[in-house]
Every structure is written in C-alpha cells, then in structure tokens.
C-alpha cells in the first residue's frame, strides 16, 4: 500500500510519472527503476506524460454501447474538437450503467449526448450529472437511524461468541456476492481456524464487472453496514486490521466511506479497546490504482503488497496465505453489508425472506432495455421476469430477447428462460450463473453478437497479461470475431473457438481468462441465429 500510495500522490500532484520523476523517486526511495516501471505501466491511473487539464472518460462497454452505439466515444471526441485542454478517452464499464451512455468528467459522473457532454465540459452549460437510481438499501439495514448503527457489534462484544456468528452465517446459506458464490460461513470458519499472522479483513470494493453497480450504491448509502460487518469479521477471525479496497472511480463512495469511518472512530467502534471489550480494530481505506483485474482476490492482494496486480496461483488460498502471508478474510461489499441484517434476523428469519424455498435477499444491478434501470433488492427465488417488471418493464416498446444474469462472466440466456429464479444454483442449472448479480436486459432488434463480442473485448482489454492462454487467447479470439463480424467468418471458426475456450477454461490462472470466451459460448449454445453468423453458409 505504501509505495503505491506514494506513487499515486505524486501522480496526483504532478499529473504524470515521467521518466525524470521516476529517476528522482528511485534514488530518493531506494527502489529500483524496474519496479517503478512495472507499476507505472500496469496501473491505469499512472501516466508517463501529463494529459490535458480536463479529461472525459467515456464508457465503451455493453450498456453504454447498446444505448449510444459502438462509435459513441469517437462521436464524443469529434464533438469536442476545437476545444483546447479537453481530452477524451474510452474506458471500461464505469458502474454507471443505469445512466447509459455514461462518462466521467474528471471524477464526476455525467451522461448525455455528445453535444450535451461537450457543453458540460466546455462550461457552456452545467455538467449533465448522473441522477440517483433506486437502490433498495433500506431492506437490509436493520437500524432505524444513525443512533442504532453498530448495534449488532455492540451486542456481540457484550458476551457474544465468535463461533455462533459463524454458525448463523453457515445456517443462513449466505454466499459470496462478488461473483464466485463461495459459502460465506465456511470462509469465515476456514480463516478463523487458519494459523499465523498477520491476520486481516479485506473488503473487496473494486466492483468493475460490466453491468455491476450495486456495491457502489450500497457504499454510498449504507457504508456503516459494511464497516460494522468488517469489524465483526475481525473479532471473529482474530484480526485487528481491516482494509477496504475501493475502485478509484468511485469518488462518491469514497466520500461516504470516509465520513462513516470518521464517525465510527469518533464513536469508539474503530480503534483500541472497542467499547471497553479489549478488542482492537483499525480500518484503512485504500484506493485502487485501477483495472478490473484488481477485483480478483489475489491480484488485489498483490496490489496491496505494492506489486503489479497479477493473480497468484492457487492454492494457497487467501484464507490461509493472504495479505503479507497471513490469513485474510476477504468478502465483497454486498456480502458484508448483508451480515448485520442476517445476525439480527437469525438464520431462519433471513432464509424466510426468500421466496419459493429460496433463501434471503439479493441485490441486482439491472441495466439495458428496461424502463427504470437501477439496483433492486429482491427476495431470492424471484423469477427474472418479475425483476424486469420491478425495473419498470421493457423499454422502448421492445420485447425481451436475451438477458445476462450475472455480469459479463455469465453467458446470455434466451427470453424463454426468463422464469428462472434469482438463485445461484437455479441460474447455474439454466446454463448461466448469478455471478455478481448484474442483470443486463436485451430487447428485440438488438445486435446480440455485437454485444457478446464487446464482452470478449472487455476481457481482452482487462487481461493482466500474466499467463499465456488469456494474454494471447483473448486477443486472438477478438481478432477472429471482428473479422467474422465484418462479414467473413473463416472456415471452422466455431470449432476453433470451442477448442480455444476449452484451453482458456482449463489452463488460465484466474477467473478472467477462464470466462473470456463465455459470452460467445453462450451464443453458440442458446442462440442458433447468432451462432449462424459465425459460420460460413456451407459449414
């Protein structure tokens, strides 16, 4: 954290880490040049030359691509021509999918037509700020007002048992909401049982899966729930240090967290001898230097340890060997945020919040062709079709064509499967998964192949480059798909892609490479018309 924090501070102050700057820092800090180069060239927040004074970062991923077309960033750049001091870049999904097409003006979320964005950037008009979408946070906040916050923690410190927290989490059936769906109670048990130190609790707030923005809204509107659950986690696994790893584009969430942390500290929930219990807990907020891969748990740890964010080979898992070699309890924002409610409800009470025999509540980031995109907290077991209704139903007079239930890492499913309930296992059985709970809805008349190719491009763009299959395979897949889309699918393309997919799944180090071709495999499996576009007529 220390070296990257120092580099980020210099980048912020000077606008770039030029060669001259790095030579000076290398001497001053006694860090070899190669290490600084490795970091500077890996993390998107660092630049080797200063850019224009004002920067507009335009999203290029699926929700925005669907809303404004594949050439949106170019049109924005064109509109900006002749305005000095403004730079336009295209970037991966910003977690502003409810406001598609979206962009960041510096660190301010904006949305609108190229002309409207230009007028905002040039100061002719106020910036077209992104509005506040629905977030459904109240459903999981067990407290009436700020005075009640941290009540669950206080009860536990006053004679509760760490073991009973783990038992409740296990019995509740809670699973990780960051994408992998690992049972949370079991993770807490493993980490508590692991020996050695240092022991750390980490909140993964790097949210960058295209279509996912629930963590951002949870942090903006209920940061106290995440903080409280992290402190409880520390108490359960015997850790006195926690770190929140926050995506750098999430400025509003940073402010909300900062405020909530100060308040928790002032009220004695963070610090030494919390509420006279003898338990100490410190909590740091670390701002990511950028990149989707940093959300992968071991890449995140590499980042915290001031290295390039390249995922580690597993095992060992972070529960055993995590931050600085010690046991690390890492959970997603939503996973943590649900825990105070679950501990208040008890396992049975929590489970009863689901429907049709499914357990608990689930936050879904709903975007695409719906009338009211936003975050919806729904009972587990709610059919996808009903979630779309909750989000205002289909927009623009379109009918449902396809939906992607869990972010780019899960494949598109056809409208015929829209009765599938929101649940990890049910969606897996349907051939997809719940992933990060990003429900992306595609209406009739949309170019699904184009959207799927954009998802593969996203993985190529965000590959860390460490392992051969993902670094080379994702790039090869994109160039073949682009050629096919331009009208010339090569002979045997789908067979080659299937074989390449097997190697990506079987041999990639981390989940990114493993799912890089999933969007296309989903089309081959579920959408014969789209698949036909990847075959030669006589194939």
Partner 1 sequence: MTDTVSLTIDDQAVEVPVGTTIWDAARSLGIDIPVLCHSTRMRPVGVCRMCVVDTGVRNLQASCVRPCEEGMAVYTDSEKVRRNRRMLLELLLADYPAPGNREATTGDDELLALARDYGVEHSRFQASASAAPAPVDDSSPVIVVDHAACILCDRCIRGCDELQHNDVMTRSGKGAATHIAFDLDVPMGESTCVACGECQAVCPTGALTNRSLHGLHVLAEDRE
Ligand X SMILES: Cc1cc2nc3c(=O)[nH]c(=O)nc-3n(C[C@H](O)[C@H](O)[C@H](O)COP(=O)(O)O)c2cc1C
Q: Which residues bind ligand SF4 (CB under 6 A)?
A: 293, 310-311, 463-467, 470-471, 508-510, 512-513
Question: Whose Cβ is closer to ligand X: residue 244's or residue 497's?
Answer: 244
Residue nearer to ligand SF4 on the CB measure, 264 or 464: 464
Residues 60, 90: contact at Cβ < 8 Å? Answer: yes
Q: 184 near 176, Cβ under 8 Å?
A: yes
Give the nearest distance from C-beta 480 to partner 1 in angstroms: 8
41 binds, among partner 1, ligand X, ligand SF4, none (CB under 5 to 8 A by kind): partner 1
Residue (36 or 218) nearer to partner 1, CB:
36
Task: Please give the angle made by the CA atoms of 112, 115 and 116, to the nearest 5 degrees.
Answer: 40
**Smallest distance, ligand X to C-beta of residue 4, A:** 18
Q: ∠ at Cα 209 (13, 499), nearest 5°?
A: 125
Judged by CB, which is closer to partner 1: 242, or 309? 309
User: Measured from the CB atom, is 400 or 512 closer to ligand X?
Assistant: 512
Q: Give the C-alpha separation, 355 to 371, whole Å.
A: 25
Shortest CB 336 distance to ligand X, Å:
7
Order of all β-strands in the sheet with 374-379: 374-379, 361-368, 438-443, 400-404, 413-414
Q: How far is CA 464 from CA 17, 89, 410, 481, in A?
A: 21, 20, 20, 21
Dist CA 240 CA 217 (whole Å): 27
Judged by beta carbon distances under 5 to 8 A according to partner kind, the member of ligand X, partner 1, ligand SF4, none in contact with residue 180 is ligand X
Q: Which does 455 bind (CB under 5 to 8 A by kind): partner 1, ligand SF4, ligand X, none?
A: none
176 contact, one of ligand X, partner 1, ligand SF4, none, CB 5-8 Å limit per kind: ligand X
**Choosing among partner 1, ligand SF4, ligand X, none, which partner's interface includes residue 315 (Cβ < 5 to 8 Å by kind)?**
partner 1
Smallest gap from residue 68 Cβ to partner 1 (A): 25
Looking at the DSSP bridge assignments, the partners of residue 31 are none
Sign of CA dihedral 352, 358, 362, 364: negative
- Which residues are at the interface with ligand X (CB under 6 A)? 176-180, 182, 204, 206-209, 292-293, 295-297, 330-332, 335, 510-512
Cβ at position 391, least distance to partner 1 in Å:
33
For residue 37, the partner it binds in ligand SF4, ligand X, partner 1, none, with Cβ less than 5 to 8 A by kind, is: partner 1
With CB cut-offs between 5 and 8 Å by kind, which of partner 1, ligand SF4, ligand X, none does residue 505 bind? partner 1
Contact residues toward partner 1 (CB under 8 A) are 19, 22-23, 32-38, 41-42, 291, 308, 313, 315, 460-469, 471-476, 479-480, 496, 499-500, 502-503, 505-509, 514
Shortest spacing between CB 438 and ligand SF4, in angstroms: 19
> If contact means CB under 5 to 8 A according to the sort of partner, which of partner 1, ligand SF4, ligand X, none does residue 161 touch?
none
CB nearer to ligand X: pick between 76 and 404: 404
Q: Which is nearer to ligand X, 79 or 477 (CB)?
A: 477
Query: What residue 330 binds from ligand SF4, ligand X, partner 1, none (CB within 5 to 8 A, per partner kind)?
Result: ligand X
Q: β-strands 200-205, 102-105: how paired?
A: unpaired
Q: What is the DSSP string of 103-172?
A: EEETTEEEE--HHHHHHHHHTSS---B-------GGGG---SSGGGTTHHHHHHHTT--HHHHHHHHHHH
Closest separation between CB of residue 193 and ligand SF4, Å? 28
Distance CA 333, CA 246 (A): 10
Closest CA relative to residue 281, chosen from 152, 177, 157: 157
The distance of closest approach from Cβ of residue 310 to ligand X in the complex, given in angstroms and rounded to an integer, is 12
SS3 207: coil
From the list ligand SF4, partner 1, ligand X, none, pick the one residue 208 interacts with, judged by a Cβ distance below 5 to 8 Å according to partner type.
ligand X
Choose between 221 and 247: whose C-beta lies nearer to ligand X. Answer: 247
Report d(CA 422, CA 408) in Å as an integer. 17
Strand order, beta sheet including 102-105: 86-91, 54-59, 102-105, 108-111
Residue 88: strand pairing partners: 56
d(Cα 177, Cα 197) in Å, to the nearest integer? 26
Name which of 37 and 389 has its Cβ closer to ligand SF4. Answer: 37
Question: Strand 241-246 relative to strand 282-287: parallel, antiparallel, unpaired?
Answer: parallel
Considering the complex, state which of residue 310 and residue 369 has its C-beta at the smaller distance from partner 1. 310
User: Are 377 and 422 in contact, with CB atoms under 8 Å apart?
Assistant: no
């Amino acid at each position: 954290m220390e070296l990257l924090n120092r580099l980020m501070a210099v980048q912020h102050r000077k606008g770039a880490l030029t060669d001259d700057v790095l030579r000076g820092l290398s001497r001053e800090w006694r860090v070899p040049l190669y290490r600084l180069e490795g970091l500077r060239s890996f993390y998107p927040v660092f630049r080797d030359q200063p850019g224009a004074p004002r920067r507009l970062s335009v999203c290029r991923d699926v929700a925005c691509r669907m809303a404004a077309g594949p050439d949106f960033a170019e049109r924005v750049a064109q509109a900006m021509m002749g305005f000095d001091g403004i730079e336009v870049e295209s970037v991966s999904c910003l977690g502003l999918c409810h406001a598609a097409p979206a962009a960041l003006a510096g660190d301010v979320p904006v949305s609108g037509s190229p002309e409207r964005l230009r007028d905002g950037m040039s100061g002719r008009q106020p910036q077209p700020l992104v509005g506040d979408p629905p977030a459904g946070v109240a459903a999981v906040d067990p407290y009436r007002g700020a005075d009640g916050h941290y009540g669950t923690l206080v009860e536990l410190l006053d004679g509760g048992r760490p073991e009973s927290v783990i038992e409740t989490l296990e019995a509740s059936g809670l699973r990780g909401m960051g994408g992998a769906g690992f049972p949370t109670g079991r993770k807490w048990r493993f980490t508590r049982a692991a020996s050695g130190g240092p022991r750390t609790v980490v909140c993964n707030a790097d949210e960058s899966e295209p279509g996912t923005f629930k963590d951002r809204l949870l942090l903006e509107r209920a940061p106290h729930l995440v903080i409280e659950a992290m402190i409880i986690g520390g108490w359960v696994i015997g850790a006195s240090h926690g770190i929140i790893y926050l995506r750098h584009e999430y400025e509003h969430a940073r402010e909300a967290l900062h405020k909530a942390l100060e308040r928790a500290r002032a009220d004695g929930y963070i610090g030494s001898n919390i509420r006279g219990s003898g338990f100490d807990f410190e909590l740091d907020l670390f701002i990511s230097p950028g990149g989707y891969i940093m959300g992968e748990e071991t890449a995140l740890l590499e980042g915290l340890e001031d290295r390039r964010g390249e995922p580690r080979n597993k095992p060992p898992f972070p529960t055993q060997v995590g931050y600085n070699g010690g046991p690390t309890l890492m959970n997603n924002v939503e996973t943590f945020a649900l825990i105070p409610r679950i501990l208040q409800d008890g396992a049975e009470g929590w489970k009863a919040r689901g429907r049709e025999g499914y357990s608990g509540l689930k936050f879904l980031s709903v975007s695409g062709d719906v009338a009211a995109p936003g975050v919806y907290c729904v009972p587990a077991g709610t059919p996808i079709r009903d979630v779309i209704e909750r989000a205002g139903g289909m927009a623009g007079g379109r009918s449902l064509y396809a939906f992607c239930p869990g972010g780019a890492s899960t494949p598109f499913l056809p409208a015929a499967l829209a009765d599938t309930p929101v649940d990890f296992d049910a969606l897996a059985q349907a051939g997809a998964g719940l992933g990060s709970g990003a429900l992306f809805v595609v209406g009739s008349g949309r170019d699904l192949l184009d959207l799927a190719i954009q998802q593969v491009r996203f993985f190529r763009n965000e590959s860390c480059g460490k392992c051969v299959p993902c670094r080379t395979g994702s790039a090869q897949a994109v160039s073949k798909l682009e050629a096919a889309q331009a009208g010339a699918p090569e002979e045997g393309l789908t067979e080659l892609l299937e074989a390449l997919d097997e190697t990506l799944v079987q041999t990639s180090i981390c989940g990114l490479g493993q799912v890089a071709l999933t969007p296309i495999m989903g089309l081959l499996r579920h959408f014969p018309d789209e698949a036909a576009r990847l075959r030669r007529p006589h194939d």
